[in-house]
Chains A and B, each alone.
Chain A
Amino acid sequence: MTSIRSDLASAQADAWDAIGAPGTWWSGAERVAIAAETRHATGCRLCAARKAALSPSMVAGDHDSLGVLPASAIEAIHRIRTDPGRLGHAWYRGLIEAGLGEERYVELVSVIAVTVAIDTFRRAAGLAPWPLPHAQAGEPSRRRPAGAKPGVAWMATLLPDDCSAEDPDLYQADPGPRRRGGGYVHHALSLVPRSMMHWWDMFEVMYLPSAAMRDFGREYRAVSHAQIELLASRVAALNQCVY
């Protein structure tokens, strides 16, 4: 039986369960539906045709979807899951104009990312995929950070200097468990603070916490810093991520 270090198993289990909890802009049932659609997208014939095309916009049609979520959410989930390297600002604007909403989009991205990361890990490690999490009752909180503003990403973000006492500990509050700094990738999901924490609290256990990234005097994992960065670079290339 494959042994998984306890912090990794715990972080992934917490992140998986959190998909089923009410979010900031989606209900628990809707978040589970996003995870289900993320899995379903890998078999979509439209996505396969678009992936093979010179440009995805050359291929029209309807997604093979589970039919639970709005069309704009289905389009977002399928493209992010199957062809993330060719997403553009015009595509994003189209989703927002279709009524998805930038806060709902950000939270959707976080659920997709958690689902993909856990599914890919289980498959890579030779483990069976987890069943979808249980959807919990309750209403989304629908709180947008007052300090969020446009500038860094396609959507508004909450930068460290714009956080208030009303916001959770997202960055480098001291004392605080999180030591996340100024990288734009840290800011990407900050319009929905709980989504940012949902992703990063799991990801840093799968990869490395910020403070460990450049601490080359010590190895924190069973693979070295160099091996970790080799793997990370390879996956970024495979996914055509140019960030």
Chain B
Amino acid sequence: MLIAFADRALGDDATALAAARDSVAARLGPAAMIDAAAVIAGFDGITRIADATGIPLEPPKAEAVADLRATLGLDRFLDAKS
């Protein structure tokens, strides 16, 4: 339900977004819908700051998740940057 809300909030389908919003409000409450929307929107902004400034992952974090990144192949995404 929350993932669907995030997906719809960043998508183009206004009808699907309205349904996802109503679902969150009905199950978690209107205040939770607002706070979820705020988190989604905040991260829609901050991901752009991270990507547009080229900051790397902090070394301790990179070390801690090295195995996970390798398993998921996340570092391959860096090859698509131009």
A→B interface (CB under 8 Å): 2-5, 8, 55-57, 76, 80-81, 84-92, 106, 109-110, 112-114, 116-121, 123-126, 152-155, 182-185, 187-189, 199, 203, 205-207, 221-223, 227-228, 230-232, 234-236, 238-243
Q: Is the CB of B29 within 8 A of A113?
A: no
Contact mask for chain B residues 21-57; partner A; CB cutoff 8 A; 1 contact, 0 none: 1000000111111111111111111111111111111
10 A–B contacts, CB within 8 A, in A order: A109-B48, A113-B48, A116-B48, A205-B38, A206-B41, A207-B39, A222-B35, A223-B32, A234-B3, A234-B6
**In the assembly, what is the distance between CA of A238 and CA of B47, in Å?**
10
Name the contact of B46 in the complex, choosing from A86, A203, A222 (C-beta under 8 A).
A203
- Residue B41 contacts which of A55, A117, A199, A241 (CB distance < 8 angstroms)? A117
Quick check: A230 and B31 within 8 Å, CB to CB?
A: no
CA distance A90 to B54 in the complex (A): 11
Closest to B12 in A: A42
The answer on a CB contact under 8 Å between A120 and B44 is: yes
User: Would A238 and B10 count as touching, CB distance under 8 A?
Assistant: yes
C-alpha gap A228/B33 in the complex (Å): 11
Known: A116-B48, A154-B53, A234-B3. A206 touches B77 (CB 8 A): no
CA distance A203 to B81 in the complex (A): 26
Q: Nearest Cβ distance between residue B51 and chain A, in whole angstroms?
A: 4
CA distance A239 to B51 in the complex (A): 9
Q: Interface on chain A toward B: helix, strand, loop, or mixed SS?
A: helix
B77-A240 in contact (CB<8A): yes
Which of B34, B36, B80, B82 contacts A231, CB < 8 Å? B36
Measured CB to CB, the closest approach of chain B to A2, in angstroms, equals: 7
Report which B residues bind A (CB closer than 8 A).
Answer: 2-3, 5-7, 9-10, 17-18, 21, 28-58, 74-75, 77-78, 80-82
**A-B pairs with the 9 shortest C-beta distances?**
A117-B45, A121-B41, A88-B81, A206-B42, A154-B54, A241-B47, A124-B37, A222-B31, A120-B41
Question: Could you tell me the distance between the alpha carbons of A242 and B51 in the complex, rounded to whole angstroms?
Answer: 8
When the two chains form the complex, which single residue of A4, A84, A221, A230 contacts B2, counting CB atoms closer than 8 Å? A230
Query: Taking the nearest CB of chain B, how far is it from the CB of A189, in angstroms?
Result: 6
> B39 contacts which of A89, A223, A238, A240 (Cβ < 8 Å)?
A223
> In the complex, which residues of chain B have a beta carbon less than 8 angstroms from the beta carbon of A124?
5, 9, 17, 21, 36-37, 40-41
Are A235's CB and B6's CB within 8 A? Answer: yes
What is the chain B residue whose CB lies nearest that of A92?
Answer: B54
Residues of chain B with a CB closer than 8 A to A87's CB = 51-52, 54, 81-82
Within the complex, what minimum Cβ distance (angstroms) separates B79 from chain A?
Answer: 10
Report the bound CA distance from A152 to B17 in whole Å: 38
A206-B31 contact, Cβ under 8 Å, with A243-B51, A243-B57: no
Complex CA–CA separation, A134 to B50 (angstroms): 28
Q: Is the CB of B38 within 8 A of A121?
A: yes
- Sample of 8 more A-B contacts, CB < 8 Å, known A120-B10, A125-B34: A80-B52, A120-B9, A152-B55, A188-B50, A203-B45, A236-B47, A242-B74, A242-B75
